[in-house]
Amino acid sequence: MNRLKLIAFLFLSLHYCYSQQITIHFKGKIFTEKNSAIGGANIHVVQDEFLSSSTQADVDGNYNLYLPLNREFDITVSKEGYVQKKYFVSTKGIKENQVMPKFPDYVADVVLFTRYEGVDYSLFDQPINKYSYNPKNNNIDYDEAYLKDMKAAMKEVQKAEQEVIKAAREKELADKKLAKQSKVGYIPQRKPAIASTSVQNSDKTIVISNTVVNKKALTPNVLALLAKYQPGVTEEIIQGKNVYIIQRILVKEEEVWIYQKKIFNWGGVACFRDNESITEGIFDQETSANLNPSFNTTVSSK
């Protein structure tokens, strides 16, 4: 009797060990948006809100996961400087005798976005894809409808990234232009006056604050601005994507100038007069409310 109990115990022990070794194999590669491998990316496997295991991609971005049966897993892929992504896997409903040798290796490649300040990445707090057992075809499938929706949402994130990149380039160009203007020997297109009271206006020039600028031809666009705006300075606030714009329209002696101060989400500031880069000091000086008593404010959105 004792011998039969021992045999039964050994059989159950062997069966238990065998069951523990049965897993579903997920493998993949971690890429950048330009298809470059991301080596050393971290892969965390969470089961029931607790960290189950962790691993790292190799130097070529490859990784392997072996997931036990009848569990649910949240897999997070991350690397410093990139936006983390997640995917969900459920191995529930799979019987042990179905695994060997019917289930293949499953490939789950992951593309990580470069992180840009000022972009909302909260979309990636949820999985980008979901895998689960489908008893109809006795296989693990991904949720096509869910993935389609996530891809559409990711395109919006990428659009926001492009806006940030574009704004950063504009600021870089503006900074370079200002740096060039500050160099010794640079001859500005505008001639600074010694003092506004000592400058005599001619038919071709006009004084703004203490700066002499050329008069504009009365083009249809200028005439339209003169008809729209009163003499003095009118301020308009334009809220764009990742940028806050203070736009001031100066009308003086039948002339019009459009000034813009662009304040970017990451803290950068660039100023322009009629699309020409100027310093923030010039912006404030030439559009000062003290110099122009007709200072009106309107709010608009972009």
The reported pTM is 0.54
Q: What is the DSSP string of 45-62?
A: EEETTEEEEEEE--TTSE
Any idea where the domains of the chain sit in the sequence? 23-164, 191-301
Structure tokens at 113: 């976005």
- Sequence-distant contacts of 280-284: CB under 8 A, at least 24 apart: 282/211, 283/248, 283/259
Q: What angle do CA 84, 88, 93 make, to 5 degrees?
A: 165
| Peptide linkage before 231 cis (omega within 30 of 0) | no
pLDDT at 95: 79
What the block records as the tokens of 216 is: 């504009």
What pLDDT is stored for residue 231 in this prediction? Answer: 84
Count of Cβ atoms closer than 10 Å to residue 211 Cβ: 19
**Cβ atoms of 119 and 164 closer than 8 Å:** yes
Which residues in the chain show pLDDT less than 70? 1-21, 98-102, 180-218, 289-302
189's tokens? 């297109």
Q: Give the CATH class of 23-164.
A: mainly beta
Long-range contacts of 258-265 (CB under 8 A, 24+ apart): 258/225, 259/283, 259/286, 259/287, 262/167, 262/170, 262/171, 264/118, 264/167, 264/168, 264/171, 265/117, 265/118, 265/164
Per the CB < 8 A criterion, the answer to whether 300 and 292 are in contact is no
Q: Which helix (H) or strand (E) holds 21?
A: helix 2-21
List the one residue out of 232, 235, 256, 257 whose CA is nearest residue 246: 235
Minimal CA–CA distance to 31: which of 77, 69, 98? Answer: 77
